[in-house]
A and B are shown apart, each in its own frame.
Chain A
Amino acid sequence: MKLKSLSKPWEAVSYGFLDASAKREIRRKMLKAVAVPGCQMPYASREVPMARGWGTGGLQISLTLMNPKSIVKVIDQGADDSVNAASIRKFLTRVTDAKSTWDTLEANLIQSRHRIPEERLTRDQILVLQVPNPEPLRSVEPNMSIARQMHADADYSRMWLQLYEQIVRSGRVMQGASYPSMVNGRHVMTPSPIPRWDVPKLNMAENLTILSAGREKRIFAVPPHTKVEPLVFSDVPYKVEEHHNLTCARSNLQGYFMNEIPNEDGTSSYEVSDSHLGIKKLNEEDGDTNLIGDTWYKNGEWQS
C-alpha cells in the first residue's frame, strides 16, 4: 500500500467552498430554525470571498444546500442580471458544478435579495433570502439582551406601538419594507427588506424559506404551510403597495410589483421588478406559449 492511495487528490477548496464542519453547523442551525419557525438561531458565520453585507448569509445557506444536481437562480431586487446577482450566481456554479437558471419555475434553489419572485413557488423549491438586519426589535429596543427577553416573553407591544406612532404622525403605516410579521403565532420576524407586496407570499407557502444574515450571524426560517401574519391593528387593515394599475414600459405586464424609473421630464415610467417575468412575457409575445407559471397576484389582486 502506498501513501498516495490513502489520500485524496489535491483540491483547491472543499466542495461548495465551505468546509465540512461549517456546513454541518449551518445544517444543524437550519434544522433548528425550521423546528422553531421565525426564531433567530445564532451561527458562526464564515468568511466567504465577498464583503459582509453583500449577501454572505444567503450565500452560506446556498453553498450548504447545493449539490451538483441543484439548479440555482439568484436575484437582486427582482433582477437576474444585476452585478451582485451575476457575481453570486457565477461563484455558486463555479464551486458546486451546479446549473444556473433565470427561470423561477426551473430553479430548485432561489437566492434572493429584497424580493420574492412573482410566480408561485412549489414544495420542491427552497427560497433563501439575504437579510441585512434580522432583529425586528432593534428599532424599538437597542439593547439586544432586553430584545431577546422580549422575544422569550413574546412581548411585541413595542412593535405595535411603532405602528401606532406611524399612524398618529403620518395618518398611515409607513413601514415600506421589512414589515414585522408574526410567524406561526409565536415569533415576530423581519422578513428581510422585501416590500409589503411580498409578505403575503410567505403565508402558508408551499416552499421552505430560509433567511440568513451573515454579518449578524443569524438564521431563521419559514417552513412550508406556516402562518406568517403581518402585525396589524384590528381596525387598520394591511395594505400592499398600490401597483395594481401600473404597466411595465418594456413588457406591457400589468398588476405586478414595479420599479419606478424617473424620466427626464419629471414623469415616471415603470418596469416589472421580477425581470425574468418581463422576459417571459416578451417571449410569449414572440410566439412561445405557457411560459409564465401560476402567480401569487393576478391583475394586481391577491390569489389565495
Chain B
Amino acid sequence: MIAPENVKLAAPQFVTTPPVLTMRNMAKVYGDVVAVDNVDVTAYRGEVLGIVGESGSGKSTLLRMMNLEEQPDHGNYKLDIKKDIDNLFELDRFAQRQIQSRHIGIVYQNPHQGLLMKHSSSGNVAERLLIAGERSFAVLREKASDALASSEFPLTRMDAPPIELSGGMQQRVQLAKAIALEPELLLLDEPTTGLDVSVQALVLDTLKRLQQQRKITMVIVSHDLGVIRTMADRVMVMKSGKVVEQGLVDQVFQDPQHPYTQQLVHAKL
C-alpha cells in the first residue's frame, strides 16, 4: 500500500484552459477542531470538480470559503474575474459581497438556506438580478423566466412561493437563482440530498445539461459517490480537513490509492 503522502495526484485533462478558481494553503480552525488544513484547490474553466468525504471532513467549510461566506485563518483565493485581485479574502466585506453576488452561484442542500420561502419563485431569482443593479421590472420578469425555464421549472408556477413547491422544484428555483447572472463559478452543496431517486435524476440531468450548454465551472460537494461519478470530471477526497487523494473520477473510483478512498469506494450498507 502506498503511504498517503506519496499518493500521486493525477494531472487534470483541463490544464490547457485557465483555472477559474485557485485556492492555496487554505486553513480554518474552529477551537480545537482543524476543519481545513492547508488545502489547495484548482478548478478549470468548464470542468466539474467533485469533493467527497465523511461528515466533518471539511468539504462544506471549503465550499463556504469558495462562496466567501467563511473567512479562512490563512490562505489565498483567486477567481478569474479581475486580474488585479490576488486574494479575494483581502477585500472588504462589501467588495466580497459584490463578487459573491455577481460571479458565484450556490445551491444549498437546504432550500430554506438559499431561498426566501414566502416570496414568489420569480422574485427569488429577481433578487439576484436586483443585487446586480437591474432596475427594470420587465427585464427582471424576462430574465427570471429565462433562468427558471433553463432550470426546467414550469413557468405556469413562476409566481408561486417556494414554500408551496416540492423539494425538487425548490432545488430548481435555487438553481435558477444561482445561474441567473451566468456566474463563472457554480457551487453545489449536496444538491440532491433529501430528494427521492427519480427527482434526483431529473435535477442531475438539468445540472449536466446546463454545464454542457453554458460551460460553467462547477464545484459539487456530496456524500453520494454516485452523484459525483455522474457529474464530476475530477474528484477530491477529503478527510480530517486534508485532501488525501485527487484525480480524474474514473481513475480515483476504479483504482483508489489512499486507504480512506478505498474504504469509501468499497463501502456498502
A residues engaging B (CB < 8 A)?
149, 152-153, 155, 157-158, 160-161, 164-165, 167-169, 233-236
17 A-B pairs besides A157-B127, A233-B140 with CB distance below 8 A are: A152-B94, A155-B97, A155-B131, A157-B131, A161-B123, A164-B123, A164-B126, A164-B137, A165-B123, A167-B137, A168-B122, A169-B120, A233-B135, A233-B137, A234-B136, A235-B136, A235-B137
Given A153-B97, A168-B120, A168-B159: A235 and B138 interface contact (C-beta under 8 Å):
yes
B131 touches A168 (CB 8 A): no
Q: Which residues of A contact B265 (CB under 8 A)?
A: none
List the 4 closest pairs (A to B, CB-CB), nearest first: A157-B130, A233-B137, A157-B131, A234-B136
In the assembled complex, the CB of B255 is this many whole angstroms from the nearest CB of chain A, namely 48
Q: Which residues of B contact A236 (CB under 8 A)?
A: 137
In the assembled complex, the CB of B32 is this many whole angstroms from the nearest CB of chain A, namely 28
B122 touches A161 (CB 8 A): no
CA A160 to CA B134, docked complex, whole Å: 10
B135 touches A164 (CB 8 A): no
CA A160 to CA B127, docked complex, whole Å: 8
Q: Which residues of B contact A165 (CB under 8 A)?
A: 119-120, 123
CA A149 to CA B96, docked complex, whole Å: 13
The yes or no answer to B93 lying at the interface (CB within 8 A) is yes
Q: Which residues of A contact B140 (CB under 8 A)?
A: 164, 233
Interface residue count for B (Cβ, 8 Å)? 18
Closest to A236 in B: B137
A161 touches B137 (CB 8 A): no
Q: Within residues 80 to 100 of chain B, which ones have a CB less than 8 A from any CB in chain A?
A: 93-94, 97
Q: Which residues of A contact B138 (CB under 8 A)?
A: 235
Given A167-B137, A234-B136: A158 and B127 interface contact (C-beta under 8 Å):
yes
Closest to A150 in B: B97
Q: Which residues of A contact B135 (CB under 8 A)?
A: 160, 233-234
Q: Which residues of B contact A155 (CB under 8 A)?
A: 97, 131
Closest to A152 in B: B94
Q: Within residues 132 to 147 of chain B, which ones have a CB less than 8 A from any CB in chain A?
A: 135-138, 140
Closest to A159 in B: B130
Closest to B144 in A: A164
Closest to B98 in A: A153
Q: Which residues of B contact A233 (CB under 8 A)?
A: 135-137, 140
Q: Which residues of A contact B126 (CB under 8 A)?
A: 161, 164
Q: Which residues of B contact A161 (CB under 8 A)?
A: 116, 119, 123, 126-127, 130
Pick 25 A–B contacts, CB within 8 A, sort by A.
Answer: A149-B93, A152-B94, A157-B131, A158-B127, A160-B130, A161-B119, A161-B123, A161-B126, A164-B123, A164-B126, A164-B140, A165-B119, A165-B120, A165-B123, A167-B137, A168-B120, A168-B122, A168-B123, A168-B159, A169-B159, A233-B135, A233-B140, A234-B137, A235-B136, A235-B137
CA A80 to CA B104, docked complex, whole Å: 56
Closest to B116 in A: A161
In the assembled complex, the CB of A136 is this many whole angstroms from the nearest CB of chain B, namely 15
A153 touches B122 (CB 8 A): no
In the assembled complex, the CB of B126 is this many whole angstroms from the nearest CB of chain A, namely 5
Closest to B124 in A: A161
CA A161 to CA B97, docked complex, whole Å: 18
Q: Which residues of B contact A169 (CB under 8 A)?
A: 120, 159
CA A221 to CA B93, docked complex, whole Å: 27
Q: Which residues of B contact A164 (CB under 8 A)?
A: 123, 126, 130, 137, 140
- The winner among B116, B135, B136 for most chain A CB atoms within 10 A is B135
In the assembled complex, the CB of A141 is this many whole angstroms from the nearest CB of chain B, namely 11
CA A22 to CA B130, docked complex, whole Å: 42
CA A168 to CA B131, docked complex, whole Å: 19
In the assembled complex, the CB of A296 is this many whole angstroms from the nearest CB of chain B, namely 26
CA A153 to CA B116, docked complex, whole Å: 20
In the assembled complex, the CB of A49 is this many whole angstroms from the nearest CB of chain B, namely 42
CA A102 to CA B117, docked complex, whole Å: 49
Q: Which residues of A contact B159 (CB under 8 A)?
A: 168-169
CA A11 to CA B93, docked complex, whole Å: 53
Q: Which residues of A contact B127 (CB under 8 A)?
A: 157-158, 161
In the assembled complex, the CB of A168 is this many whole angstroms from the nearest CB of chain B, namely 5
CA A167 to CA B119, docked complex, whole Å: 12
CA A168 to CA B130, docked complex, whole Å: 15
In the assembled complex, the CB of A131 is this many whole angstroms from the nearest CB of chain B, namely 26
Q: Which residues of B contact A158 (CB under 8 A)?
A: 127
